[in-house]
Amino acid sequence: MSKFTRRDFLRTAGVAGAALAVPGAMRGAMFGATEQSSAGGAAQARGARKRVIVVGAGLAGLVAARELVKNGHEVTILEAQLRPGGRVLTLRSEFSDGLYAEAGAARILSTHDLTIRYARELNLKLVPFYPSSGQFVFQVAGQNVAGPLGGPSQWPVALTAEERRLGRGGMWKRYVFDVAKELGNPAEAGWSPSKFAEYDKVTFVQFLRQRGASAGAIRVMLLGSDFDGASALRILSDIAVNGDVTGEFKIDGGNDRLPRALAAPLSSRIRYGAALESVEQDRRGVRARFLQGNLTHTVEGDRLICTIPFPVLRRVEFTPQLPDEKFYAIQNTYYLSATRVIFQERRRYFAARGRNGFALADWPVEVWQPSFDQPGERALLSGYMTGEMARRVAGLPEDRRLQSVLNEMETLLPGARENFEGGYSKTWDDDFWARGAAQWFRPGQMTDYWAHMATPAGRVHFGGEHTSPWPGWMQGAIHSGLRTAREVEEAGT
C-alpha cells in the first residue's frame, strides 16, 4: 500500500464544486500569472484619464476598479446587490455565538498567488482550511471508514490489485495528473484548448473509464462530487493551472473580508442596488442603463468592464449586438450547480468519537466543520453538494432541504439530528445575480468558447472568473480584474 500523505489529500480531496482541489504538479504554472498581473498592479498612469464603468462589485470588478482608480481614472461601479463580494459570501447573522461559515468561495490554494497577495496587502490573515487533528470520515457504498486527511488505507469497494496498492492519491496520479501535465500552462499567453480537443469530447467520468479506472476506483476518486458532466478538458486544465498545491487556506474571520476590504476605499464610487439592463456603444463612448429601485438611470463612460456571470448577462441587451461568437459563449456556457446546507449543532459531539466534523461521501457530498477553529461549544456542519445532488436538494422547500440533508449527515456523523438547532441553505442556481456557482464547460464547450470568453467587444471588456484561466476560483476573478484594467489602460479613449 503506497503511503497516502496529507499533501496527496490536498491534491485529491473531493471537488469543492466551483473550486476543484485536485491539482497537478506544475508549480511553474503560476509564474505566468504573476508576471501578467504585476502589469495591472503598478500604479502608473499610462493612458489618458478615462471614464470607466465597472459592472459588478465581486472580486473581479473590485480589483479592476482598484487598479484603475490608482492610475487616476474616473470609475463608477454598478452593483445590483447591497453588498460587495458576489459569490464570496460569508454567513454570520444566520448563526449564534459569532459563528460564521462560507456559502460561496471557501478554499484558497497555496498556488493562488494573486488571492494570497491581495489578502496580505489588505492585512488579512490566512489560516489552514483543514484541522490538523481528529479523524475524517469517508463514506463509500454506505460504509464509513475513518482516517487521516489522506484517507484510509483500505476502501470498502472492489478495486484492482494495482488500485489497492496505489491508494486514492496514486490513482489520481496514475489516471489524471500524468495526463494533466501534457497540457502545459493554461495561463500562458497563446495556450489553446484546441490542441487537446480529444479530452473535450468526453466527460471527466468517461475519461476516467477510458484511462482504465475501475468502477470502484472512480467511486473513490470522485468522493464529494459527481463533476456535473464536466468536460474532461475542463478538469484537466484546472489541475494544470493550479500547479503543485501544498496547502489550502481561508481568511481568518471569513473570506468576505477580502471583497469588503477592497470595497471600503471605493465606497463613494459604488452604486449599490444598481442592476445593469442594457449597454449601448458607438464611436463616442459607452452608455449603461441600469435600474435602481424603480427608476432607470444612465451612466456614460469611455470604457465599460462587465464582470457579471454569463447566465445573468443573458438578461442584458447590447446595442449594437455582440459578435456572434461572444453571443453564443454567453448564451451556452454551462454553470455548475451548487447547494450548501449548513447546520448549527448544540455541541461538537463528534469530537468524543475522535472525529473532526469533516467528511467525504459518494452520494456525493463534502462535509466541513468551518467552526473547528472558532471559539465556543457549538459547531457548524456544512454540507456541500454539486451537480445533480445540488439540484435535487435545491428542488425541495427549505425545511425539507434541511431535513433530508440532516438525515444523510446523521449517517456520516451520528448525533447530527440530536444536536441540531437550526440551519441555512444556499442554492446558487436560484441566486438571481449568479444563476450557478461558476463556469463549468460541458463536453465540446471549451474548444468552442474558450477563445471568446474574454475578448472585448468595442468599448466593452469582459472580466469575471469565467473569463480567466482559473474559472471557479477567486484567483481567476482577481486575474481577470487585473487583465481588464490593463486592457482599459492600454485602449484609446
Determine, following the binding rule CB under 6 A, whether residue 222 of this chain makes contact with ligand FAD.
no
Smallest separation, CB 271 to ligand FAD (Å): 9
Comparing C-alpha atoms, which of 371, 363, 408 is closest to residue 389?
Answer: 363
Residue with cell 504538479: 25
Determine, following the binding rule CB under 6 A, whether residue 106 of this chain makes contact with ligand FAD.
yes
Q: Which 412-451 positions form the footprint of ligand FAD (CB under 6 A)?
A: 428, 433-434, 437-438
User: Which of 312/485 has CB closer to ligand FAD?
Assistant: 312
Determine, following the binding rule CB under 6 A, whether residue 387 of this chain makes contact with ligand FAD.
no
Please pick, from the candidates 8, 79, 256, 489, the single residue that binds ligand FAD as defined by CB under 6 A: 79
Determine, following the binding rule CB under 6 A, whether residue 476 of this chain makes contact with ligand FAD.
yes
Determine, following the binding rule CB under 6 A, whether residue 249 of this chain makes contact with ligand FAD.
no
Determine, following the binding rule CB under 6 A, whether residue 338 of this chain makes contact with ligand FAD.
yes
Query: Any idea what DSSP says for residue 457?
Result: B
Is there a contact between 449 and 87 (Cβ–Cβ < 8 Å)?
no
Measure the CA–CA gap between 17 and 210, rounded to whole angstroms: 23
Q: Binding segment for ligand FAD among 238-246, 398-406, 411-419, 473-481 (CB under 6 A)?
A: 473-481
User: Which of 16/29 has CB closer to ligand FAD?
Assistant: 16
Q: Is 192 exposed, middle or buried (0-12, 13-18, 19+ CB in 10 A)?
A: exposed
Please pick, from the candidates 10, 13, 15, 19, the single residue that binds ligand FAD as defined by CB under 6 A: 19
Q: Binding segment for ligand FAD among 82-90, 151-159, 193-201, 350-358 (CB under 6 A)?
A: 82-90
Q: Binding segment for ligand FAD among 78-86, 141-149, 161-169, 395-403 (CB under 6 A)?
A: 78-86
Paired sense of beta strands 379-386 and 460-462, if any? unpaired
Measure the CA–CA gap between 460 and 319, rounded to whole angstroms: 11
Smallest separation, CB 92 to ligand FAD (Å): 17
Measure the CA–CA gap between 118 and 453, rounded to whole angstroms: 24
Angle (deg, nearest 10), helices 474-490 and 113-121: 80
Ordered DSSP codes for 300-327:
EESEEEE-S-HHHHTT-EEESPPPHHHH
Q: Which 262-321 positions form the footprint of ligand FAD (CB under 6 A)?
A: 275-276, 307-309, 312
Q: Where does 53-148 have alpha helices with state H?
A: 59-70, 113-121
Residues within the interface to ligand FAD (CB under 6 A): 16-19, 55-61, 78-81, 86-88, 104-108, 275-276, 307-309, 312, 338, 428, 433-434, 437-438, 464-465, 472-477
